[in-house]
Structure 1
Amino acid sequence: MDVFDDVSLSLMKFGVGQPVPRKEDPTLLRGEGRYSDDVNLAGQAHAVMVRSPVAHGVLRGIDIETASAMPGVLAILTAADLDAAGFGPLRCPMNVPQRDGSPMKTPPRPSLAVGKVRYVGEAVACVVAETAVQAKDAAEAVELDIETLPAVTAPHEALKPGAPQIHDEAPSNLVLDFHYGDGEAVKKAFTEAAHVTRLEIVSNRIAVSAMEPRSAIGSYDPATERWTLHLGCQGVMGIRGTLAKDVLKVTPDKVHVLTGNVGGSFGMKSQVYPEYGPLLLASRKLGRPVKWTDERSESFLSDHAGRDHQRVAELALDKDGRFLAVRLSGTANAGAYIYPPMPATTNAVKNVIDVYRTPAMEVNSKVVFTNTTPVAAYRGAGRPEGNYFMERLIDTAARELAIDPADLRRRNHIAPDQMPYKAPSGMNYDSGEFTAVLDKALKAADWEGFAARKAESAARNKLRGRGIGSYLEVTGPPSKEYGGIRFEEDGTVTMLSGTLDYGQGHATPFAQVLAAHVGIPFERFRLLQGDSDQLKVGGGTGGSRSALVASQAFLEAGDKLIEQGKQIAAHVLEASAVDIEFAHGRFTIAGTDRSIGIIELADRIRGGLTLPADLPQSLDVSHISDNPPFSFPNGCHIAEVEIDRDTGHIDVVRYFMVNDFGTVINPMLVAGQAHGGVLQAIGQALMEHTIYDPQGQPVTGSYMDYALPRAEHAPDMSIESHAVPCKTNRMGIKGCGEAGCAGALPSVMNAIVDALDGKHIDMPATPEKVWRAINAG
């Protein structure tokens, strides 16, 4: 077998489009992963946070005398210590304009409470001891003097006159009065519409529930005046930048962020949290590393929550059922402090149009402070909600107008010959075959055979319903990304990327892309992402962006590698660089059989090959890519549910999806992402809901009270592809990470409403809520 055959067979097995198992799985399945809590440094101490037991109050004092004298206690830090050290508060980097053009309200978030506490679980002090048990005992002995104030947990209540004022900087607790769209055009469309559908609809508050709780170790080196933080996150460069600028007040080169394996995040670990500043200060004061690991009960109090929107959604249609305008109005709960990306604003704008021709749109959102844990990104961060609101409107309109819901969608699809399509959201759709995707999903789900299945369910005292959930998502915004290639002494090749794998499985698809492009064997590649000292830039992972931005960066880095290789190969082969051709991992003198493989060339360089000064001195590449613009993954999910008439219990009994993710690098990994997103959406649709009592105390503060979906709640899922490669990036990739949620929220909820004969019900559709709807007459 010659080298060409060897490379060709490797690409058949490991090339783009092949279902290659994840490189990291054997290590993780053997229990050899290295998560944040697995990191232990010599001489480390342990920290525990003292958290506010009340939702809103004036912090009159902190008595640490008894706690300080307890065995093993090394230090107890408060806000005064951070202030004395020159540490700054956390700040929201976003500043979306208000309706009147003025800046939104972004009060700073202290790492440890100053003057007031604003939610149950807010960190007030940091206790450091020799052991975690000693730190926990001492934390329980810290006495807080808090003058309790009235609390408010619901946005509509927080906006009322006389409501408790949470931040002086935000009168009436209003963070942002957001408006987008042509209000006059929308008003005219609704006035002239033949039919208007209106729904009051909720996207319920979610506890993120990543498998790995947050954990971090802070250390300080006085010799270099550098800070190091080990933690699980979604991108080390963003964490480094925020720590340096806002918290530590140093240049970024003085901060080193390290991340190993990460056990899930879904947006929650994308930000710097208040605990990290006290850990770093304690490490400097004590001259030793300081470690903190969240307990699950603390996670419910301190991890950023997801969703929590209340909307009035409206759709205007003409006499033929064609859409004229869509309007969203309502509130969004920011919690006690504001964090990006504020899903109810710009992401709602980008995604509510979905796959439909809708000439006019308007989004009005009041983002509101409440005495609850801050709300931030959660798988899609407003993208699934935008699709959910539109798809629920469409099914409701179809029922009101006695039009088949599939036909109503077809009438309003953006057609392929209308691409590129400029949506009123400002987005430019470049590709998509939305009717073909819908029809393929209907066929897969046996849409026409539903009546027989419904009759069979009825014979077993079950209500059966079916629901369509079409979706179109806008991926994360363009940003620079890093793509490095480094040939190591042991013969492996390191890929360096500013994205970060927190469960997606980046090492395998990135290696597939580079193996296909430069012909290096798949097995040689290793991936490095979680070390800020070895990266130049990095946008992290989020917004379904990683595959498209990393592939672009690696392809461009591969181009540079090939160009450098041609120059070096020309020297080795004693030819002119212009006569060197590259294919299948080999550099060849044109018209001859004289060649050298890229791996052999790397070995020669590593072995001491002397190169002229005017040539590249290695094959290593360090490249920063100007990333491509948005892409638009889309698809159609169809769910069928059965509801027990006597109990209201719901089973998702059939599930089908057809997705357009553009070029798919690894269909096995894509299916896994889709399956996970669908089950998360089923959890939100059927059972998950974070609840607070009127005093701001969390009622669902553990898994005894907060319901998560289990394996038994996962239906068999059929997944098919209808790929239309996009034109916005080199490989035609559209992204897939959030699509499961985007299609499942509307398909499952539309199926439930269909089973209930059109009675609207909000998420979560718990058995009690459904039973009451069945028996309401």
Structure 2
Amino acid sequence: MNLPLDPAQLKFGIGQSVSRKEDPVLLRGEGRYSDDLSLPGQLHAAMVRSPYAHGVLRGIDLAEARSLPGVVAIYTGQDLEAAGIGPMPASVGQKNRDGSAAHLPTQPVLATSRVRFVGDPVAIVVAETAKQARDAVEAVILDVEALPAVTDMREAASPGAPQLYDDVPGNQVVDFHYGDAAAVAAAFAGAAHVTKLSIRNSRIVVSPMEPRSAIASWEEDRYVLRMGSQGVFGMRAGIAKVMGVKPEALRVLTGNVGGSFGMKASVYPEYPALLHAARQLGRPVKWTDSRSESFLADSHGRDHDMEAELALDAEGKFLALRVTGFGNLGAYLSNATTIPSTANTVKNVIGVYRTPLVEVSTRCVFTNTTPVGAYRGAGRPEGNYYMERLVDQAAREMGIDRVELRRRNQITPDHIPYDAPSGMRYDSGNFPLLLDRALEAAEWDSFAQRRAEARARGKLRGIGIGQYLEVTAPASKEMGGIRFDADGGVTILTGTLDYGQGHASAFAQVLVDRLGVPFDRIRLEQGDSDLLIAGGGTGGSRSIMASGTAIASASALVIEKGKPLAANLLEAAVEDIEFVAGRFTIAGTDRGIGIMDLAAQLRSETGASSALDVSHTDQYEESAFPNGCHVAEVEVDPETGETQVVRYTTVNDFGVLVNPMLVAGQAHGGIVQGIGQALMEATAYDDSGQLLSGSYMDYGLPRAEHAPFFGFASQPSPARTNVLGAKGCGEAGCAGALPSVMNALADALAERGISHIDMPATPQKVWAALQAGGPG
């Protein structure tokens, strides 16, 4: 590692809390999100969506809509199919327990013969103005023969349930199984104690600040799509496949993105429909989602229904863990649809505990609801949640202190590297130390006094632990490009994508550390597919490992290229050239040249600086294992059922912190989203498949008042799976928040005889449980 010697450079190196580069632009209102963009001569689009959750589409009457002022064109699913567009992407990485392939039904870009959820797109209207397009949508008449709908995943898998697809019997996409069923059964049969819990992982409306928006155009004989995404390289490949063209025939451009949390990684039907309209009409076509449409049509998150069981011996040692249940996919296969309730549950469910055997069985089924995709953590918080709730429940049932039960089963440093039954190898970590530090910071030992004080005020107070370990996304190829620009700046090119994380500063810090270039001259380019040669996008808490590793490798290549160039200028042998702190020097002398001066001199001689430029693809090989311990305290008003998080402490191991301030911010955001899911975010459908929580009037999001100030501390154990030693932090807040908050709530309610309550623990649900549980 080349540490800069200049104090000004030390300020911007790895480990410094550098402010986000993009914030001044955003705070001045100069950010450019998709809806901020307009192109000359653009038209506007609006989507015709099904008002029925399930039905046969007999016909579409477009006559009146086409006659309205400003309407330029209307395209249906048949129009797109006739043009060779579609179907939508459909893939499932998991096989059935018998080894057979999952069911992959065909989804047209726009519904042609069947509608399967309220919001299913049926046609796209293009008009001169957005208002004219919306007015025309209202004039489209759909002839739909309504069919019975099913919204509950267990009901969808039961005999006689409405069938969404003729070629998907029982609505079951995949019957997933992992583990040695016979060995697990034997462990349970011989256990001194078995704890069982029915746990619902509730459905989430993703709700980023910026709704989806896109402008499609046909420029220089190819498609161009300006849109919000989580990575332009992968998005280009996915959309090009739907369009039936090579990736090079499409350019995807992404500017600022106002949040995503997994949702904007998907290829949605609107995108190929917009591209088709733009090419047919020879004019750009713009579409922006309304918030109500976003509730209906953007992929939702979570939604699993599990039976979780933990087998223990007489001393409380874990023998085996078994998770059996359902994953709700919604009406279609979205991005990463099956992974959260299957593979990611397997990888994350044992958390920080020695658990010899694991079995996970999940039936992933279709329902007449909005498709479900990745949402912050995508199975990682779920897995930790199941285990942590089981640990607290087992401690209560066996009469063992819940902290002591954790200590008896924790993976300790002398067990590492630890080969988990999931097939993962934990490379680093000190989980007992994190627990001890979190309990001390949370003043665990004095909680009884706070509980008594709350009881005197008529409140129920509880405290809960959420100790987590999550497995970040697996290895993927990533670009590490470094370009020395004509204006004296340096551009990093990489295929992850910032949608609020602060990549520009963190990636620049890596470059400062490796090459010693001035922080304020570094730019970041992620949003143009034409400039990328690889890119895995942002997701799975992997950006700093993927792009950071690629930038470090590219920096080494820059140094390798620079040594002979510097040797030539300094009239020295290449083998005598050293690179330290941003300078090429002749070993043993003070003669040298800074890397920026070298780039400038090369430009003056050749008119270009390409001699130092690097376009490199790297592949980081393994996942990392961020972990930590959260301690939450809640107070419950038994008269109203309202629950408030009143104290919150978290100690985390994110390995090497490239930018501690950004890490804390990511953790805070994840915690608040976890609190939202735990206590208030309730997605509800009626029996006919209508979304009852279709706006912010009906769906609760957490506000500042719902979260206390967070106690945040780090206890890093550098990762050994990547050159930076980093572990990723983007999803960890949710992984610790769900179990800590819900364990605290269960602790508060325990004195009223209530041992478990499912998310979201809304005031109504808590109040009803208290009434059923009896007086205190």
State the TM-score, normalizing by the size of structure 1. Answer: 0.98
Correspondence for 1:249:
244
* 8 A contact 2:4–2:516 mirrored in 1: no
Correspondence for 2:67:
69
Residue 487 (structure 1) aligned to one of 475, 484, 499: 484
Q: Does 1:694 align with 2:694?
A: no
Alignment partners' CA distance in 1, 2:474 and 2:607: 44
Residue 306 (structure 2) aligned to one of 275, 287, 311: 311
* Structure 1 segment 340-419 matched on structure 2, within 5 A: 340-341=335-336, 342=338, 343-419=340-416
* Structure 1 segment 230-629 matched on structure 2, within 5 A: 230-245=226-241, 247-341=242-336, 342=338, 343-609=340-606, 618-629=611-622
Q: Tell me, what secondary structure is at the counterpart of 1:547?
A: helix
- Which letter does structure 2 place at the counterpart of 1:44? Q
Correspondence for 1:732:
725
Give the % identical residues: 63
Alignment partners' CA distance in 1, 2:217 and 2:416: 53
Q: Deviations over 1:221-244 (max 9, x none)?
A: 3xx431111110000011100111
Correspondence for 1:190:
188
Q: Deviations over 1:10-47 (max 9, x none)?
A: 23311111111100001001111000001111111000
Correspondence for 2:769:
773
Q: Tell me: CA distance 1:639–1:259, structure 2 relative to 1, closer, same or farther (3 Å).
A: same
Residue 176 (structure 1) aligned to one of 169, 174, 177: 174
- Which letter does structure 1 place at the counterpart of 2:464? G
Alignment partners' CA distance in 1, 2:324 and 2:278: 47
Q: Tell me, what secondary structure is at the counterpart of 2:88?
A: coil
Q: Deviations over 1:451-506 (max 9, x none)?
A: 00000001100000000000000001101000100011111100001000000000
Please state how far the C-alpha of 1:111 moved relative to its aligned partner.
Answer: 1.3
Q: Deviations over 1:306-330 (max 9, x none)?
A: 0000000000000110000000000
Q: Tell me, what secondary structure is at the counterpart of 1:608?
A: helix
- Which letter does structure 1 place at the counterpart of 2:760? P
Correspondence for 1:165:
163
* 8 A contact 1:55–1:151 mirrored in 2: yes
Q: Does 1:667 align with 2:660?
A: yes
Please state how far the C-alpha of 1:617 moved relative to its aligned partner.
Answer: 5.4
Please state how far the C-alpha of 1:775 moved relative to its aligned partner.
Answer: 2.2
Correspondence for 1:643:
636
Alignment partners' CA distance in 1, 2:256 and 2:725: 29
Correspondence for 1:81:
79
- Which letter does structure 2 place at the counterpart of 1:681? G
* 8 A contact 2:417–2:426 mirrored in 1: yes
* 8 A contact 2:224–2:250 mirrored in 1: yes
* 8 A contact 2:4–2:582 mirrored in 1: no
Correspondence for 2:674:
681
Correspondence for 1:655:
648
Alignment partners' CA distance in 1, 2:325 and 2:91: 24
Alignment partners' CA distance in 1, 2:714 and 2:247: 43
- Which letter does structure 1 place at the counterpart of 2:254? T
Alignment partners' CA distance in 2, 1:382 and 1:154: 19
* 8 A contact 2:229–2:265 mirrored in 1: yes
Q: Tell me, what secondary structure is at the counterpart of 1:308?
A: strand
Correspondence for 2:623:
630
Please state how far the C-alpha of 1:193 moved relative to its aligned partner.
Answer: 0.3
Alignment partners' CA distance in 1, 2:3 and 2:466: 45
* 8 A contact 1:466–1:640 mirrored in 2: yes
Alignment partners' CA distance in 2, 1:596 and 1:15: 21
Correspondence for 2:748:
755
- Which letter does structure 2 place at the counterpart of 1:622? S
Alignment partners' CA distance in 2, 1:141 and 1:210: 30
Alignment partners' CA distance in 1, 2:620 and 2:423: 19
* 8 A contact 1:7–1:521 mirrored in 2: no
Correspondence for 1:713:
706
Alignment partners' CA distance in 1, 2:470 and 2:273: 38
Alignment partners' CA distance in 1, 2:646 and 2:676: 15
Alignment partners' CA distance in 2, 1:474 and 1:766: 30
Q: Deviations over 1:490-549 (max 9, x none)?
A: 111000010000000000010001101111011110000000000001000000000111
Q: Tell me, what secondary structure is at the counterpart of 2:739?
A: helix
Alignment partners' CA distance in 2, 1:650 and 1:575: 72
- Which letter does structure 2 place at the counterpart of 1:449? S
* 8 A contact 2:413–2:429 mirrored in 1: yes
Please state how far the C-alpha of 1:609 moved relative to its aligned partner.
Answer: 4.4
- Which letter does structure 1 place at the counterpart of 2:73? A
Alignment partners' CA distance in 1, 2:491 and 2:626: 30
State the TM-score, normalizing by the size of structure 2. Answer: 0.98
Moved more, 86-95 or 227-236: 86-95
Alignment partners' CA distance in 2, 1:717 and 1:314: 32
Alignment partners' CA distance in 2, 1:649 and 1:531: 47
* 8 A contact 2:682–2:760 mirrored in 1: yes
Alignment partners' CA distance in 2, 1:429 and 1:623: 29
Q: Where does the alignment leave 5 or more consecutive residues of structure 2 unmatched?
A: none
Alignment partners' CA distance in 1, 2:90 and 2:322: 28
Please state how far the C-alpha of 1:759 moved relative to its aligned partner.
Answer: 2.2
- Which letter does structure 1 place at the counterpart of 2:279? R
* 8 A contact 2:91–2:333 mirrored in 1: no
Q: How many residues align?
A: 767
Residue 47 (structure 1) aligned to one of 31, 45, 55: 45
* 8 A contact 1:330–1:364 mirrored in 2: yes
Residue 204 (structure 2) aligned to one of 206, 209, 212: 206
* Structure 1 segment 207-222 matched on structure 2, within 5 A: 207-221=205-219
- Which letter does structure 2 place at the counterpart of 1:274? P
Alignment partners' CA distance in 1, 2:349 and 2:461: 28
- Which letter does structure 2 place at the counterpart of 1:87? I
Tell me how large the CA RMSD over aligned residues is: 1.2
Alignment partners' CA distance in 2, 1:122 and 1:263: 24
Q: Deviations over 1:695-732 (max 9, x none)?
A: 00000000000111111001110000010001100011
Alignment partners' CA distance in 1, 2:172 and 2:593: 66
Please state how far the C-alpha of 1:96 moved relative to its aligned partner.
Answer: 1.2
* 8 A contact 1:158–1:172 mirrored in 2: yes
Alignment partners' CA distance in 1, 2:533 and 2:423: 31
